Amino acid sequence: MNSFFNRLTPKETKFFPVLKEMSDVLISASDVLICYVRSDRSSKEPDYYKEIKELERKADDLSNRIFEDLNSTFITPFDREDINNLANTLDDVIDSINKSAKLVLLYNPKKMPESAFKLAEMIKEATIQIGKAVDELDVLKKSPENIKKYCRELHDIENRADDVCDNYIMNLFCEETDSIELIKLKGIVTQLEKTTDTAEVVGKIIRTIIVKYA
């Protein structure tokens, strides 16, 4: 009975807090990633990878909750599949942060390059822009101007991250003579850069929603 009325009550706003929670998890994960990349990976350091892994699982649960809620909700602010896509893509961002951290753990390179620090900071910037965009989803239809700006920002961050990654790899091929170390460093820096690509995809999904409801 309760469930029946529950289904008929409009709940436009119930998805926004969960999406917001997801974007907060992204920001936290990018904070831990910065610490991890900056750490000397000794046994004295906190287990940063484990922290990121836990945040990744939390985001996974939130994304699932959205999926289940969408299936039992009559009215949603946007088409159901758009909210589901957005939640999936936020999940992809934290998966990519998690994968970056995992490569640091797996490859354990001798020395972490400055470019990896820069890229981790850029990932943080990107998650903050995502947070701002998610914050304004409730006014997306009425005034999308700010959200468009954040999406544009995600695009610019990705471009800058690309440059950092490219310059690093060009130098790496000139300077690194140990081919195993080269594979490791190229792998880590490329994966960090890919995380900004995934963050940009969030911007593209949001732009598609803007276009759809314009």
Binding mask 151-170 for a second copy (x = CB under 8 A): ---------------x--xx
> Could you give the CA distance from residue 147 to residue 8 in angstroms, rounded to a whole number?
30
Closest CA to 191 of 100, 77, 125, 124: 100
Q: Is 173 a binder of a second copy (CB under 8 A)?
A: yes
Residue by residue, DSSP assigns 103-159 as: HHHHH--SS--HHHHHHHHHHHHHHHHHHHHHHTGGGTTT--HHHHHHHHHHHHHHH
Q: Is 61 a binder of a second copy (CB under 8 A)?
A: no
Positive or negative, the CA dihedral 159, 194, 24, 72 is positive
CB of 50 to a second copy, least distance (A): 14
> Could you give the CA distance from residue 112 to residue 189 in angstroms, rounded to a whole number?
10
User: Which single residue is written with the structure tokens 């850069």?
Assistant: 193
Q: Which stretch in 28-36, 37-45, 98-106, 123-131 sits in contact with a second copy by CB under 8 A?
A: 98-106
Q: Is 102 a binder of a second copy (CB under 8 A)?
A: yes
Q: Which stretch in 20-28, 32-40, 65-73, 119-127 sits in contact with a second copy by CB under 8 A?
A: 65-73
Q: Is 204 a binder of a second copy (CB under 8 A)?
A: yes
Q: Is 139 a binder of a second copy (CB under 8 A)?
A: no
Selected binder of a second copy within 27, 35, 70, 128 (CB under 8 A)? 70
Closest CA to 194 of 161, 148, 171: 161
Is-contact 51 26, C-beta < 8 A?
A: no
CB of 182 to a second copy, least distance (A): 7
Selected binder of a second copy within 12, 45, 61, 79 (CB under 8 A)? 79
Interface size with a second copy, residues (CB under 8 A): 33
User: Which single residue is written with the structure tokens 């990633």?
Assistant: 33
User: What residues line the site for a second copy (CB under 8 A)?
Assistant: 67, 70-73, 79-81, 84-85, 88, 102, 105-107, 144, 166, 169-170, 173, 179-180, 182-184, 186, 204, 207-208, 210-212, 214
